[in-house]
Amino acid sequence: METLLNLTIYLPLLGLIGILAARSEDAVKWIALAATSVTFAVSLPLIFNFDVASSDTAQFVTESGSLVFGLDIKYIVGLDGLSLLLFMLTTFFGPIVVLGAWTSVKKHVAGFYSMLMILQTGSLGVFASLDLVVFYVFFELTLIPMYFLIGIWGGSGRIAATIKFFLYTLVGSLIMLVALVYVGYHAGAAINNGVFISDWRVLSGMEYQIGLVEQTWLFLAFALAFFIKVPLFPFHTWLPYAHTEAPTAGSVVLAAIMLKMGTYGLIRFCLPLFPNAMLEFAPYIAFLAVIGIVYGALVAMVQKDVKKLVAYSSVSHLGFVVLGLFALNVIGVQGAIIQMINHGLSTGALFLIVGMIYDRRHSRQIEDFGGITTIMPVFAVMFMLAAFSSIGLPGLNGFVGEFLILMGAFTSESIGNIWFAIVATTGVILAAIYMLWMFQRVMFGPVTKEENKNLKDLNAREIGLLIPVMIFIIWIGVRPTHFTQYSEHQVTVLLEQADEKRIAVIESAQNDIHNLPNWASKFYDITPSLAEATTPKTDQDER
């Protein structure tokens, strides 16, 4: 199984070699399709053999010796409850993305698919790695192919968009790198005989605790990188440009996979490493998340470009995910995790669909369409299903995530105010407004434009690549427990551990309360009347 996991991660690179050796463009496409399909096939045994009962321990683990002399940086990959679904989502989207680009990419075909292959390996590595440094390497590795995908195969404003995307996310992750190095040495001094260590399993454990002052700075450094990636309001401005300019395949991977690296990082690293800071900052971040939900939706509403509309809707939807994560209870976090998958599926589908109509019409302006349902009925059904999934219709996937997130936020003690959840719930109204209004203008009414009259309905390839996505949209909507079961146990354990760790940190902070700077003692509740302040914050879930 360990071999299989590694095979899954690096198979796309094997495909890359094949692509470089291929003689014709057709061969390139078929090799890319084969590589991603085999990757997906090979990854399936992983989920089938995953032990749900012990989802809190990493499974299929490969662990090397120290990679760098004198530092405990090891190549550690494995899957646990947090990463399994995202990992599978990535392998699942591999062949879909390749098929989606089949006819729409015409220049530098080999280069295009090479980039996709590197991106695939990078993304899989991000979700599988259990060493902070290895994670970081994969995290940055994904930037480069995406930079080229947007910069070479993008639209007219691609250069500015890709530079903004690259620099913005890079700045965030460089700051994270500094914090990461600090954590490594700090942990080494604390529990590893002074040797730098970055093994997630060790750092997330109870033995390693970080003081309150360090937690604040380190949390901010990590969180900034992830917030930019998510993107959380107000760090989102790179997203509309990147999405609009990216080729369809780029948008799909960006939305379905890469944005999730931010939210994934928050739950994977910030929660177990900086539990106190996570809790204390929760209301502020929830505030930003709620603003993002409403703001993203309102701005989406007035977009004239369908793709930009979907991009801004992502800001809104990812706001939900962040809100759920910072609810810091099982309901909210579980909702957030399944919503990451949901957003991947529904927004991925929407980008594919927008790409399909763009391929035919070379326009994404809403006003250029109208009455498309009459001309492309199958397309209409797919589009409608994806739109309703995005709106959060019960019975489809989006509802499960949104409902759990809102319920979690409503009952959350870390957010501490039901108004966050109430304002966030207005997102369900706004989503209906921007989606259905756009849908109406594009799909309904009479066909007014001559160019639209002869559009061809979806072909077999397009139907074939959308149907798997639709199946999951319905499957998750009807039987969400088939999916949420993978993370349930680990989330419960993580939250409990975070609570324990939080109390332990507070207790030790009390001992040298005089050494803490003023702002820290104001910020963290470390007054002597600790009895109340340190009761587990997630009582809510035990009820």
**Residue ranges that bind other proteins, judged by CB under 8 A:** 164, 167-168, 234, 236-238, 295, 298-299, 301-303, 329-331, 334-335, 371, 373-374, 377-378, 381, 388, 393-395, 399-400, 403-404, 406-408, 410-411, 418, 421-422, 425-426, 428-429, 432-433, 436-437, 440, 443-446, 478-481, 484, 488, 492, 540-543
Is the Cβ–Cβ distance between 132 and 218 less than 8 Å?
A: no
C-alpha–C-alpha distance, residues 27 and 15, integer Å: 11
C-alpha–C-alpha distance, residues 543 and 315, integer Å: 33
C-alpha–C-alpha distance, residues 123 and 11, integer Å: 13
Burial of 530 (0-12, 13-18, 19+ CB in 10 A): middle
CA distances from 468 to 100, 295, 376 (A): 13, 32, 20
C-alpha–C-alpha distance, residues 203 and 269, integer Å: 9
* DSSP string for 398-448: HHHHHHHHHHHHHT-TTT--HHHHHHHHHHHHHHHHHHHHHHHHHHSS---
Q: Shortest gap between Cβ of 64 and other proteins (angstroms)?
A: 36
Sign of the CA dihedral running 379, 88, 495, 170: negative
- Choose between 450 and 542: whose C-beta lies nearer to other proteins: 542
- Choose between 113 and 320: whose C-beta lies nearer to other proteins: 320
- Choose between 259 and 406: whose C-beta lies nearer to other proteins: 406
- Choose between 136 and 399: whose C-beta lies nearer to other proteins: 399
Q: Shortest gap between Cβ of 25 and other proteins (angstroms)?
A: 32
Which residue, chain included where needed, has tokens 């078929």?
A: 30
Residue 71 three-state SS: strand
Query: What tokens appear for 504 in the block?
Result: 């332990």
DSSP state of 257: I
- Choose between 67 and 378: whose C-beta lies nearer to other proteins: 378
Compute how many other C-beta atoms are within 10 angstroms of the C-beta atom of residue 430: 20
Is the Cβ–Cβ distance between 419 and 425 less than 8 Å?
A: no
Q: Shortest gap between Cβ of 502 and other proteins (angstroms)?
A: 19
Q: Shortest gap between Cβ of 484 and other proteins (angstroms)?
A: 6
Give me the residues paired with residue 129 across strands.
Answer: 77
Burial 317-339, CB ≥16 within 10 A → b, else e = bbbbbbbbbbbbbbbbbbbbbbb
Q: Shortest gap between Cβ of 516 and other proteins (angstroms)?
A: 31
- Choose between 215 and 490: whose C-beta lies nearer to other proteins: 490
Burial of 307 (0-12, 13-18, 19+ CB in 10 A): buried
Is the Cβ–Cβ distance between 346 and 256 less than 8 Å?
A: no
Q: Shortest gap between Cβ of 441 and other proteins (angstroms)?
A: 9
Q: Shortest gap between Cβ of 303 and other proteins (angstroms)?
A: 8
Query: Which of 98, 74, 13, 86 is closest to 43 using CA atoms?
Result: 86
Q: Shortest gap between Cβ of 5 and other proteins (angstroms)?
A: 27
Compute how many other C-beta atoms are within 10 angstroms of the C-beta atom of residue 264: 24
Q: Shortest gap between Cβ of 203 and other proteins (angstroms)?
A: 25
Is the Cβ–Cβ distance between 141 and 118 less than 8 Å?
A: yes
Q: Shortest gap between Cβ of 395 and other proteins (angstroms)?
A: 6
Query: What tokens appear for 90 in the block?
Result: 């990535």
Q: Shortest gap between Cβ of 527 and other proteins (angstroms)?
A: 28
Residue 517 three-state SS: coil
C-alpha–C-alpha distance, residues 444 and 31, integer Å: 40
C-alpha–C-alpha distance, residues 218 and 179, integer Å: 5
- Choose between 85 and 421: whose C-beta lies nearer to other proteins: 421
C-alpha–C-alpha distance, residues 239 and 245, integer Å: 10
- Choose between 182 and 437: whose C-beta lies nearer to other proteins: 437
- Choose between 94 and 172: whose C-beta lies nearer to other proteins: 172
Q: Shortest gap between Cβ of 448 and other proteins (angstroms)?
A: 10
- Choose between 282 and 406: whose C-beta lies nearer to other proteins: 406
- Choose between 278 and 327: whose C-beta lies nearer to other proteins: 327
- Choose between 320 and 524: whose C-beta lies nearer to other proteins: 320
CA distances from 126 to 79, 84, 265, 285 (A): 11, 12, 9, 24
- Choose between 90 and 329: whose C-beta lies nearer to other proteins: 329
Q: Shortest gap between Cβ of 206 and other proteins (angstroms)?
A: 22
